[in-house]
């Protein structure tokens, strides 16, 4: 089974223009063409496309992804480089995860803040509340919000 660019785009849930753009940027050197020049995606190309999608989600640029594709096409000599690339990406994702956790804590705090404000009818309720009255799990983030990053919360 082969697919045209429009069919593959539909299958993956992206725009056909996106796949053409990726091709132009050298991300799809493995896609073959018909005698008339039409792209013919093979079933096995889906894995490539999924990996590209994954790398994009991980925050990699088109340029970086192209490097990976080029390495992969070079064959087994580049296994070490590719391993290093994904290991590095693993670290990046860990970092992203930690940041996302932190952002979540901040938003959780803000939800508590406005729930408390809603009950009292004024933001003064949470805003002027003593730290000791604030639920324990929000104290750290509250202190942090009120000072510059890297500043000691208590002086």
Binding site for DNA (CB under 7 A): 4-7, 14-18, 20-24, 34-39, 56, 61-63
> Residue 66, Cβ neighbours under 10 Å: how many?
18
CB 41 within 8 A of CB 3: yes
> Which residue's CB is nearer to a copy of itself, number 23 or number 105?
105
Supply 98's token pair: 């930690």
Q: Taking CB under 8 A as the criterion, which residues in 125-154 touch a copy of itself?
A: 144-151
User: 3-42 mask for a copy of itself (x: CB under 8 A)?
Assistant: --------xxx-----------------------------
> Which residue's CB is nearer to a copy of itself, number 35 or number 107?
107
User: 75-94 mask for a copy of itself (x: CB under 8 A)?
Assistant: -x--xx-xx--xx-xx--x-
DSSP per residue over 103-126, as a string? HHHHHHHHHHHHHHHHHHTSTHHH
Give the binding-site size for a copy of itself (rule: CB under 8 A): 46
Site of interaction with a copy of itself (CB under 8 A)? 11-13, 46-47, 50-51, 54, 57-58, 76, 79-80, 82-83, 86-87, 89-90, 93, 96-97, 99-100, 103-104, 106-108, 110-111, 114-115, 117-118, 121-123, 144-151
């Amino acid at each position: 089974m082969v697919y045209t660019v429009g069919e593959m785009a539909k299958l993956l849930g992206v725009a056909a223009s996106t796949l053409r753009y990726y091709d132009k940027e050298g991300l799809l050197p493995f896609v073959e063409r018909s005698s008339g020049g039409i792209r013919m995606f093979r079933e096995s190309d889906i894995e490539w496309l999924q990996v590209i999608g994954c790398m994009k989600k991980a925050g990699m640029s088109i340029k970086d992804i192209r490097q990976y594709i080029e390495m992969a096409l070079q064959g087994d000599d580049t296994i070490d480089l590719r391993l290093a690339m994904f290991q590095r990406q693993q670290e990046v994702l860990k970092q992203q995860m930690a940041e996302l956790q932190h952002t979540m804590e901040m938003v959780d705090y803000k939800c508590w803040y406005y729930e408390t404000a809603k009950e009292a009818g004024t933001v003064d309720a949470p805003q002027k509340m003593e730290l000791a009255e604030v639920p324990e799990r929000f104290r750290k983030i509250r202190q942090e919000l009120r000072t510059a990053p890297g500043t000691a919360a208590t002086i």
